[in-house]
Amino acid sequence: MGAPYRRRHARRRQAEAAMLAPVNWVEERSGLVGGIRYFLFRNVPSDISWAQTLGSAALTAFIVQAVTGVILAMYYKPDPDKAYESIQFITNELTWGWLVRGMHRWGASVFIILLFLHMGRVFLFGAYKYPRELNWLIGVGLLALGMLEGFTGYLLPWDQTSYWATVVGINIQASGPFVGPFLANVLRGGAEIGSETLARFYAIHMLLIPGGLIGLIGLHLYLVMRLGVTSPPWSRKAAGRKRDPEAETRRQGLVEPRSRRGWRSGR
């Protein structure tokens, strides 16, 4: 090895150390980098399928909605006299505005479709069963919040379609038993749909529901990591293992405590 090679090698090592310094600084004080590394490189069953990427696809759709939503919020005006105009400005005059608005509008449908596909996959794979019932329930919360996000966002353009769709939606809510009329009043913010309604829908759409979604997604992913991902139902590894200590225990008529069943291995 000649001197020029050694010098180049030393320079590269120096550059690497300089780049890693901030990462190491954060890691030493938080352990965050190790956590992210664990999440990205953890073991999953070797025979998982494409259907098991639908959760990540839903997560990607949510991130697209969050980013495009923040950009739209910089130009949108939640006032009945200005809302429609501001939407027209975003669509027709703002640079790339049509694209950002289109991504947000169509992305909302994509997000809901992906949620249903992901939920269908979890159901068909039986992945909602013990010990993942809690994560299924969190998923139900995510679905409800996702649909409410769509409902509250629909009013914001303040055109005829959005106005009358909201009238119908709130009237359906009002016909619900016990708390139905009360919740309809809370949503409307008064006797008529007007500026109060728009302000409420905007606050719920921008702050309340996204906050709830972010919290529930965090919990959901924590449980996915903690419990591991299930193998597909056709998995030979999960169903036809050569030695299955659990099955042997059952054959001998012994009941194994729930907490000792192999939830980390998948099924």
Where do contacts with ligand HEM occur on this chain (CB under 6 A)?
A: 52, 54-56, 58-59, 62, 115, 118-119, 122, 125, 127-128, 132, 135-136, 139-140, 142-143, 217, 220, 224, 229-230
For residue 76, give the nearest of 192, 205, 208, 190 by alpha carbon: 205
Name the minimum Å distance from CB 31 to ligand HEM. Answer: 22
Task: Please give the Cα distance from 47 to 267 (Å, whole number).
Answer: 13
Q: Which CB, 197 or 230, lies closer to ligand HEM?
A: 230
Query: Between 14 and 56, whose beta carbon lies closer to ligand HEM?
Result: 56
Q: Which is nearer to ligand HEM, 174 or 224 (CB)?
A: 224
Contacts by 118-122, CB closer than 8 A, 24 or more apart: 118/54, 118/55, 118/57, 118/58, 119/143, 121/51, 121/52, 121/54
Render 53-112 in DSSP notation, one character per residue: GHHHHHHHHHHHHHHHHHHHHTT---STTTHHHHHHHHHHTSTTHHHHHHHHHHHHHHHH
**SS3 assignment, position 243:** coil
d(CA 59, CA 61): 5
State how far the Cα of 72 lies from the Cα of 68, in Å rounded to an integer: 6
Smaller CB distance to ligand HEM: residue 37 or 129? 129
Q: Which is nearer to ligand HEM, 118 or 200 (CB)?
A: 118
Report the nearest approach of ligand HEM to the CB of residue 124 (Å).
Answer: 11
Contact between residue 65 and residue 214 where contact means Cβ atoms under 8 Å apart: no
**Shortest reach from residue 26's CB to ligand HEM, in Å:** 24
Smallest gap, in angstroms, from Cβ of residue 156 to ligand HEM? Answer: 21
Between CA 123 and CA 129 the distance in angstroms is 9
Tell me, what amino acid is at 123? Answer: F
Minimum CB separation of residue 205 from ligand HEM in Å reads 16
Residue nearest to ligand HEM according to CB distances in the complex? 139
Which CB sits closer to ligand HEM, 78 or 228? 228
State the minimum distance, in angstroms, from the CB of residue 230 to ligand HEM.
4
* 151: its two tokens: 């409902």
**Residue with smaller CB distance to ligand HEM, 48 or 71:** 48
- Contact in structure between 184 and 171 (CB atoms under 8 Å): yes
- For the bound state, the minimum distance from the C-beta of residue 117 to ligand HEM, rounded and expressed in Å, comes to 10
* Backbone φ, ψ for residue 137 (5° rounding): -65, -40
Task: Rank residues 55 and 97 by Cβ distance to ligand HEM and give the closer one.
Answer: 55
Minimum CB separation of residue 56 from ligand HEM in Å reads 5
